[in-house]
Amino acid sequence: MLTVMLISVALVVFLAGNLVRVVKFLRMPSPLRWELYPIPKGPQERQRYGGSYFEDSDWWTKPRASSHKSEAVFVLKEVFLLRGVWENFRGLWLWSWLLHWGLYLYLLITLFAIGEALLPADAGALVLHAALIYGYRLACPLGLAGALGMLAMRSWHPRVRAFTTRTGIFDLLLLGSIFATGNLLLTTGPDGLHSMIRGLARFPTRLGNHSVTWHLHVCLVAFFLAYFPFTHMTHAYMKYFMWHQVRWDDSASVHDPYAAKELAVNLQRKTSWAAAHIAAGGTAAWSEIVADADGNGAGKRA
């Protein structure tokens, strides 16, 4: 019963923490847009060289072509192939790919295992059961290899060692421990990883006698769920906002009354910068900084 309560509390913290994080982001001021082309929107011919609809004369009077297909392809390549890591740091790519796919498979197989545990047993369930066992046998070694590889890279590679934090190391150790104990459970027969999912999914009042590894794995998973919303690992879904509202948002405010209203609100916010080129002292609004009375852009600047 205590184990079920532990998982239940962890799930509540996980859901509530992520919800608060998303709501907090949505309530923040409009982010500064990158507008760095190419972006996966608009005609394909312009994406190839980084063009945009701003090239058209009188662009504000014309309908703007967009491509959700290109955005979907970009997201799928980034999620499943980690294209950004491949293009920018190929030496890290293999370990990062293994770690991510270990997580993907563990999560997917666990969801299927919960579904299987709640369904009546039949011939089809036996086939699904075998597939789930093989899925865990693939996910845990992949994730463990990825975590160990990432730890090694962050410990010695000069490109990432300088800004590797203790929190980052802890996160990798936590993930590695989950996959390591999962690997151990896969070797213990009926007391293994799949039996753990089946037992927890049925919400029993008693789970019987289990090994130390079993309890350790459950505690690690519960801790990870409760810990996740407060870490940088939330980039798993925050990337959506980064891509769509910062990197790819090139919509003109002239076509978006809400965006124009948001920008007007932002221009009235007080500044708190201490940079030498902006001597606002925390009292001037951005509208005063970006333009003086004559519109020359030299307002409250030093």
| Cα–Cα–Cα angle for 237, 238, 241, rounded to 5 degrees | 115
User: How far apart, in whole angstroms, are the C-alpha atoms of residue 104 and residue 281?
Assistant: 48
| Residues 143 and 110: beta-carbon distance below 8 Å | no
CATH code of the domain occupying 2-247: 1.20.950.20
3-class SS of residue 130: helix
Residues counted in the chain: 302
Q: For position 292, what pLDDT does the model report?
A: 57
User: How far apart, in whole angstroms, are the C-alpha atoms of residue 238 and residue 250?
Assistant: 19
3-class SS of residue 202: coil
Most confident among 9-18, 134-143, 233-242 (mean pLDDT): 9-18
- Biggest distance spanned by C-alpha atoms of the chain: 80
pLDDT in tens, 183-203: 888 877 644 565 666 655 554
Provide the pLDDT confidence category of residue 278 given band limits of 50, 70 and 90: low
Lookup: tokens for 146: 């990825």
pLDDT in tens, 15-29: 999 999 999 998 888
Whether residue 30 is predicted with pLDDT greater than 90 in this model: the reply is no
Spell out the domain ranges in the chain. Answer: 2-247, 268-302
Interval 202-216 mean pLDDT? 64
Q: For position 85, what pLDDT does the model report?
A: 95
Q: What is the DSSP letter of 244?
A: I
Q: For position 214, what pLDDT does the model report?
A: 82
Q: For position 84, what pLDDT does the model report?
A: 93
Task: Return the sign of the alpha-carbon dihedral for residues 58, 63, 69, 74.
Answer: positive
Lookup: tokens for 183: 């690997």
Q: For position 131, what pLDDT does the model report?
A: 80
User: How far apart, in whole angstroms, are the C-alpha atoms of residue 239 and residue 292?
Assistant: 37
Provide the pLDDT confidence category of residue 205 given band limits of 50, 70 and 90: very low
User: How far apart, in whole angstroms, are the C-alpha atoms of residue 92 and residue 175?
Assistant: 17
Residue 105 CB contacts under 8 Å (≥ 6 apart), including other chains: 135, 138, 139, 142, 143
Q: How many CB atoms lie within 10 A of CB 176?
A: 21
Interval 214-228 mean pLDDT? 92
Whether residue 280 is predicted with pLDDT greater than 90 in this model: the reply is no
